[in-house]
Homo-oligomer: A and B are copies of this chain.
Amino acid sequence: MTHSSLSSPSRFQTYDDPGEAAEGAARIAKLRAELVRRGLAGFIVPRADEHQSEYVPRHAERLAWLTGFTGSAGTMIVLLDKAALVVDGRYTLQAPEQVDTAVITPVPLADTTVEAWIANNLPAATSLGYDPWLHTTNAVKKLEQAAENAGGKLVPVDMNPVDVIWVDRPLPPCAPVRPHPSAYAGETSEDKLARIREKLDKDKVDALIVSDPHNLAWAFNLRGGDVAHTPLPLGYAIILREGRPTVFLAPAKVTNEAGSSLGAEADIAPPDAMPSALDALGAAGAKVRIDAATGAIALSRRIETAGGVADIGPDPISLMKAVKNGAEIAGARAAHLRDGAAVARFLAWLAREGPSGELTEIDAVEALEGFRGETGLLKDVSFPTISGAGPNGAIVHYRVTRKTNRAIHPGELFLIDSGAQYEDGTTDITRTVAIGEATAEMRDRFTRVLKGHIAIARAVFPKNTSGAQIDGFARAALWSVGLDFDHGTGHGVGSYLSVHEGPQRISKIGSTALEPGMILSNEPGYYKAGAYGIRIENLILVERREMSGAEREMMGFETLTLAPIDRSLIDSGLMTIEEIGWLDNYHARVREKLSPLVDAETKVWLDEATRPLGPRA
């Protein structure tokens, strides 16, 4: 893509400045009037939908509509005389800029949890309302305790009071739901359902409510388009230990193909048929597994009221989905090859155009999406691109807007974290490149991050090793000089599904055992506030590792992502021979795989970018 083509705007991303707070005071006043009408002293407004999704559809963006706050996480508690918006470290600066602070007080989570704020602020002997579709059972237990600590009580509402005052509220999304072809899925829905039923049998539960749309999509081999960047059909399913499952999806969005493929395995019903299905389960005294992470308390209440047993625990589909099968792995390799070629074209373009000092962060986002679009197979970006020049690179979840957009200056580091949705796989890659000359400190830090990245890529470990047990490998080179980074080393990644998938992860809290077939990110970083950010991210696949003399079943990682790592930022004096060997081998593989797929100009750049670092060149 040439510079001139930048005039074609992104199909999947916007650079709008965050919403504005102008309406906040009036809307909160209306909400309070509604609360008074209902005899409530307050109401909890989380940034959540009925599925606890990462991307919330517009009709469920109640918090943003009420306040102007557009962060991806946050909870407001509106009392009659005050309102607190509790946000985590990512949004402590953004929240006060977006909301009307005369009406809403942003509260950093580090200072006060939602529960502590309620315990300290809810007036005694009053009722605090919540929408039982927007909170899990375990979350409500904590909120109930908090209200009790204040001498008040927590009460569910029948209809969300925000919806009553939100007159021009959008309709729920209704994107078409289509079958996910078996060439990509690699396992029939019939076989998946058999495995799920086996697990229900083992756990002695009679039914599973699938509340996580990712799990719905996986189990029934469906894909939709109800939220941004993840091809989800929003809906539910009930899978019985014995008998046909029922999938609850708005009839308008079930395409004929989906209807006929799905119909072989399941009954299809409209969402408003679900309450009576839950009642029937409860009346039969069924023990029903409800996902602890995504199942709304409305589900467990309904089951229990009808006489059933709500078994709050993990949805077994999550772990099954995390372990990719042969077709999904082949798809991931193909997707990464295609994506790597697009990223290489982008990096070559950046190397040509960057030194002018005229490119902006948005230019880079557009160019990269353009190269991916030219593959002809791009379905969406897998998340809004993080494109941070200089100090913006130090903001871990930075999203460029027209207001924050800045030119990429020579002498700066530029960090770009992006990903694509292809039908055969989901990608996620971060590269940090020097525009012009980097300082010795930047090279030292980059090299330490790279050492951490390589330590994960080269790790071998036995069966049953958790992600937490190898997380330190990614940090040791930074720790040894008193540095660190404040995010996990790796998250799970779906197969044409969410770029953030659990339960697999490499982090302090990664207690799930790593299993062959899991795909994760490997993304250590270093961030110097106000100066620059560094992150090196590849996706990695857990694979069995045969070793002579091994007494254990051993595993390691195959690196899936294919794109050069900036050699000009490496201080090879800090690297061991083994680390240099890994990098040179990786670059040789990148060159070999991508060369046939790129234009001549990119090929010249690629040859130079993947030249061996070591003396064994």
* Contact yes or no, A508 B552, CB < 8 A: no
Q: Given that A204-B119, A479-B460 are known contacts, is A469 also in contact with B550, CB under 8 Å in the complex?
A: no
Q: Given that A466-B508, A469-B508 are known contacts, is A482 also in contact with B547, CB under 8 Å in the complex?
A: yes
In the bound complex, what is the Cα–Cα distance between A547 and B468 (angstroms)?
25
In the bound complex, what is the Cα–Cα distance between A469 and B469 (angstroms)?
5
A480 at the interface (CB under 8 A from B): yes
* Contact yes or no, B472 A461, CB < 8 A: yes
* Contact yes or no, A482 B204, CB < 8 A: no
**Which residues of A from 448 to 485 have beta carbons under 8 Å from B?**
459-462, 464-466, 468-473, 475-476, 479-484
Q: Which listed residue (B149, B470, B472, B551) contacts A482, Cβ 8 A?
A: B551
Give 1 or 0 for each of A544-575: 1 = CB within 8 Å of chain B CB: 00010111101000000000000000000000
* Contact yes or no, A479 B462, CB < 8 A: yes
Task: Give the chain B neighbours of A554 by CB distance below 8 A.
Answer: 479, 482
A509 at the interface (CB under 8 A from B): yes
A511 at the interface (CB under 8 A from B): yes
* Contact yes or no, B476 A508, CB < 8 A: no
Q: Which listed residue (B466, B482, B552) contacts A483, Cβ 8 A?
A: B552
Oligomer copy total? 2
Q: Given that A462-B484, A468-B466 are known contacts, is A476 also in contact with B473, CB under 8 Å in the complex?
A: yes
* Contact yes or no, B484 A552, CB < 8 A: yes
Task: Give the chain B neighbours of A509 by CB distance below 8 A.
Answer: 511
In the bound complex, what is the Cα–Cα distance between A11 and B316 (angstroms)?
54
When C-beta atoms are compared, the residue in chain B nearest to A576 turns out to be: B576
* Contact yes or no, B472 A550, CB < 8 A: no
The distance from the CB of A534 to the nearest CB of chain B, in whole angstroms, is 14
Task: Give the chain B neighbours of A511 by CB distance below 8 A.
Answer: 468, 508-509, 511
In the bound complex, what is the Cα–Cα distance between A480 and B548 (angstroms)?
11
**Which residues of A from 478 to 513 have beta carbons under 8 Å from B?**
479-484, 508-509, 511
In the bound complex, what is the Cα–Cα distance between A341 and B150 (angstroms)?
58
**Which residues of A from 499 to 536 have beta carbons under 8 Å from B?**
508-509, 511
In the bound complex, what is the Cα–Cα distance between A360 and B459 (angstroms)?
42
Q: Given that A480-B460, A547-B482, A550-B482 are known contacts, is A468 also in contact with B119, CB under 8 Å in the complex?
A: no
In the bound complex, what is the Cα–Cα distance between A233 and B495 (angstroms)?
57
When C-beta atoms are compared, the residue in chain B nearest to A468 turns out to be: B468
In the bound complex, what is the Cα–Cα distance between A381 and B475 (angstroms)?
39
Q: Given that A468-B468, A472-B470 are known contacts, is A483 also in contact with B551, CB under 8 Å in the complex?
A: yes
When C-beta atoms are compared, the residue in chain B nearest to A509 turns out to be: B511
* Contact yes or no, B479 A461, CB < 8 A: yes
The distance from the CB of A307 to the nearest CB of chain B, in whole angstroms, is 15
Task: Give the chain B neighbours of A479 by CB distance below 8 A.
Answer: 459-462, 554
Q: Which listed residue (B473, B480, B484, B547) contacts A472, Cβ 8 A?
A: B473
The distance from the CB of A377 to the nearest CB of chain B, in whole angstroms, is 38
In the bound complex, what is the Cα–Cα distance between A484 and B475 (angstroms)?
22
Q: Which listed residue (B468, B469, B547) contacts A481, Cβ 8 A?
A: B547
- Other A-B contacts than A459-B472, A484-B551, A508-B511, 5 sampled, CB-CB below 8 A, are A464-B508, A466-B508, A468-B471, A471-B472, A482-B547
10 closest A-B pairs by CB: A482-B550, A468-B468, A482-B547, A469-B472, A462-B484, A149-B204, A470-B472, A469-B471, A482-B554, A461-B479
A interface residues, Cβ below 8 angstroms from B = 119, 149, 204, 459-462, 464-466, 468-473, 475-476, 479-484, 508-509, 511, 547, 549-552, 554
17 pairs, A vs B, C-beta closer than 8 Å: A459-B479, A460-B479, A462-B482, A462-B484, A464-B508, A466-B468, A468-B468, A468-B508, A469-B469, A469-B471, A473-B473, A481-B547, A482-B551, A482-B554, A484-B551, A484-B552, A508-B511
